[in-house]
Amino acid sequence: MMIPAQPADDLGPEHWINRDLSWIAFNYRVLAQAEDINLPLLDRVRFLAIVSSNLDEFFMVRIAYMRRALKSGQALTGPDGMTPRQLLDSAREKARELMDRANRCWTDDILPALRNSSVDIVEPGELTREDRDYLNPYFREQVLPVLTPMVLDATHPFPLLSSGAIYLLLRLKARSDVEDAFFSKADTVLVQVPSGLDRFVTLPHREDGYRFLLLEDLVTLCANEIVNGYDILNVHHFRITRDAELLLDDDRSDDLIIAIREGLKRSRWGAPVKLSISSKVPDEEAAYLSQMLELEPKDLFRSTGMLDMKGLFGLIGKVERPDLLEPPWPPQNHPAFSGHDDVFSVISKRDVIISLPYQSFDPVTRLIAEAADDPDVLAIKITLYRVSGQSPLVRALIRAAEQKKQVTALVELQARFDEEANITWAQRLDAAGAHVIYGVVGYKTHSKAALVIRRESDGIRRYCHLATGNYNDRTARQYTDLGLLTADPDFGEDLSSFFNVITGYSLPPVWNYIEMAPTGLRARTVAMIRREVERHTPDNPGFIRAKMNSLIDPQIIRELYKASQAGVKIDLLVRGLCRLRPGVPGLSENIRVRSIVDRFLEHPRIFHYRNGGNEEVYLSSADWMERNMDRRLELLFPINDPDCRKEALAVLDAGFADNVSAWRLLPDGVYSREKPAPYEPIYRSQEKLYGRAVAMAAKSRDEKRHNVFTARTGQSARKRR
């Protein structure tokens, strides 16, 4: 595919990759992990569940958005030139191909491999008499009480069905021995498979193996106990996915919590966007369901495997087979916190970078926990975007508020799919006496920042934490992220001003270090790219290295194209969405784009500019996306300490050296997996970074033991003298 060179200010559609098709391409890279026979089997199952979960979200958010745009008559196109109709048709078909390939991976590859490893997902026809004797009482005692059959007839129209739930469509015929006319009229019943029960029903084990039956298959087997008086002619499984857009009622804007809760209720019954059925369902039944749900034939997706494979997460938790998983990588203690000092005494001496999940999130939790109990702490301020259900950090904030400390928490209530959890935490913080801010009108607060104000002998001191990831102890073990802990007074002044901006709507000041979106982050980013061009010479070449989740902002991409045309070398690690086409002669031949897909989700945003030899490194909560630059509150901050800068650059170095988990984006938009050259050592970036964390922790322990030994031997020598 030849892509013509073009001035960066006059680009055609061929110079852009569509953002949604790029997202589907990312999930092909995730699926490749599930297909990789070199990975342990249950890790492959996990990647398959991730693909299914991602596809669900894609339909609930992006496909739903395309359908709304089409329905409203929107004719706007992106820089790639695709119309809403073209994009919807193309995205659905690409998603269908991805789903079909995922199904084949499950049925043809992973399912037989599980059986060969003594983890058996039993088909109903394979059940023994012993199995049925076990299942019958289980069904009557645990499942049947939860089931509610819903009849469909002239007086009972097709009901509203829950998004994501699996349903059974039962076609019935009244038995001839039933005389009551009340029961003889129904011929169709719907039954929801309970989502609160285990999807994988454990069967009696044989030898050392595991045996399971899917819950929907159990309900099907025992369906005659749900509809007494009928013969069951057919049972068909189906599942619907709905538009998850949170639409707020402007009339309830006086109470954001009530508005969001009512919006969540409405979003549960959003317009259907996808119907998933088994490949065995007859065409007439598929047409009936599509008609009842007012869906087009293109919205129908047939599955040869499980409906909703994200349920496979539950299977992993039930199978205790360490041999089918990669060895665990327990988070390592950061050397700075290996002693008995409190967090404040450590940070007061030096800046510290925590590299998650290779290093423990504990110092961040300790910062807030120690602040809650320290009588010298006067105030704690923090932004909360996504937190875990049992967050120790938020519990510490509640404890601090109960101890009459001034606690200010900006809780973003509109963090998609976490709204209910955030409302619960916000109300608990409010009840404890914290000052809770429910976001800033018109913007999502996506920044990750905490500030502790402490009274010390020489005056007030401010302790700061800024990060690329959320204050979530659960995802801190699953996502790669970087966080800076510092007591630098200029950072403290900046964060104080930042919290004044978002809590009091004051105008942003002139910052010492940080930059904030939406007020100045885009301009700062463009200025730094242009500066690289200005300082680029043949003898002193410029380069930019960056790592992020998504690169789709048109203005920034144009600036990168211009920098490439000027000769600046640009290396990018972009995990997911990427609109930029690298390697196009005359346009982007100096740009290289890679994507890392491995056991942890790549999440940090790191930006490295050569700056004429005076190198600068920044971290940020923001990707290079329009929404982050224009519609969110984000922070960009420099890494000034040389040791901390070294840690951030190690993450970039590892990503660009990876020849195992890395994919290269080609000019035609296709991703090619990197492979080691003959005799080249294998380099897996996440494994190397974890090994680095292990080595740092071990060195710290050795130094500590050496210091203890030296101190003891010195004491012994003094005693002998």
pLDDT tier, 577 (very low <50, low <70, confident <90, very high otherwise) = very high
Q: What predicted TM-score, i.e. pTM, was given to this entire model?
A: 0.92
- What mean pLDDT do residues 284-302 have? 92
Question: How confident is the model at residue 94, as a pLDDT?
Answer: 96
pLDDT tier, 1 (very low <50, low <70, confident <90, very high otherwise) = very low
Q: Which residues pair with 355 in a beta bridge?
A: 482
Report DSSP letters for 251-290, one per residue.
GGTT-HHHHHHHHHHHHHTPPEEEEEEETTS-HHHHHHHH
pLDDT tier, 249 (very low <50, low <70, confident <90, very high otherwise) = very low
In this predicted structure, the answer to whether residue 253 has a pLDDT above a threshold of 50 is no
Q: Determine what percent of the chain is predicted with pLDDT higher than 70.
A: 90
Residue at 505: amino acid letter: Y
Q: Determine what percent of the chain is predicted with pLDDT higher than 90.
A: 69
d(CA 654, CA 387) in angstroms, rounded, equals 29
Q: Which of 300-304, 441-445, 519-523 has the lowest mean pLDDT?
A: 441-445
- What mean pLDDT do residues 89-97 have? 95
pLDDT tier, 252 (very low <50, low <70, confident <90, very high otherwise) = very low
Question: How confident is the model at residue 412, as a pLDDT?
Answer: 78
Residue at 35: amino acid letter: E
Residue among 166, 31, 17, 165 at smallest CA distance from 97: 31
Question: Is residue 154 packed enough to be buried (19+ CB in 10 Å), middle (13-18) or exposed (0-12)?
Answer: exposed
Angle at 534 between CA 530 and CA 538, to 5 degrees: 125
Question: How confident is the model at residue 5, as a pLDDT?
Answer: 57
Q: Which H or E element spans position 200?
A: strand 200-202
Residue at 170: amino acid letter: L
pLDDT tier, 498 (very low <50, low <70, confident <90, very high otherwise) = very high
In this predicted structure, the answer to whether residue 237 has a pLDDT above a threshold of 50 is yes
- What mean pLDDT do residues 490-516 have? 90
Three-state DSSP class for residue 576: coil
Give the CB-side neighbour count of residue 480, counting CA atoms within 13 A.
29
State the catalytic residue, choosing from 446, 465, 536, 603: 446
d(CA 544, CA 5) in angstroms, rounded, equals 21
The maximal CA–CA distance of the chain, rounded, in angstroms, is: 108
d(CA 483, CA 472) in angstroms, rounded, equals 12
pLDDT tier, 214 (very low <50, low <70, confident <90, very high otherwise) = very high
In this predicted structure, the answer to whether residue 257 has a pLDDT above a threshold of 80 is no
In this predicted structure, the answer to whether residue 69 has a pLDDT above a threshold of 90 is no
- What mean pLDDT do residues 540-563 have? 96
Known catalytic membership, residue 446: yes
Q: Give the mean pLDDT of the chain.
A: 89
Q: Which residues pair with 569 in a beta bridge?
A: 543
328-347 residue pLDDT tens? 999 999 999 987 789 999 99
- What mean pLDDT do residues 486-495 have? 97
Indicate the Cα dihedral angle 119, 123, 127, 133, nearest 10°.
90
pLDDT tier, 71 (very low <50, low <70, confident <90, very high otherwise) = confident
More confident residue, 498 or 418: 498
Contact 352, 485 (CB under 8 A): yes
Question: How confident is the model at residue 262, as a pLDDT?
Answer: 55
pLDDT tier, 251 (very low <50, low <70, confident <90, very high otherwise) = very low
- What mean pLDDT do residues 479-502 have? 96
634-663 residue pLDDT tens? 999 999 999 999 999 999 999 999 999 999
In this predicted structure, the answer to whether residue 417 has a pLDDT above a threshold of 90 is no
pLDDT tier, 614 (very low <50, low <70, confident <90, very high otherwise) = very high
Q: Which of 495-499, 504-508, 581-585 has the lowest mean pLDDT?
A: 504-508
- What mean pLDDT do residues 245-266 have? 52
pLDDT tier, 158 (very low <50, low <70, confident <90, very high otherwise) = confident
Indicate the Cα dihedral angle 220, 221, 227, 231, nearest 10°.
110
Question: How confident is the model at residue 718, as a pLDDT?
Answer: 55
d(CA 419, CA 257) in angstroms, rounded, equals 9
pLDDT tier, 358 (very low <50, low <70, confident <90, very high otherwise) = very high
Report the first-to-last Cα separation within the chain, whole angstroms: 83
- What mean pLDDT do residues 709-715 have? 60
Report DSSP letters for 36-81, one per residue.
-TTS-HHHHHHHHHHHHHHHHHHIIIIIHHHHHHHHTT-----TT-
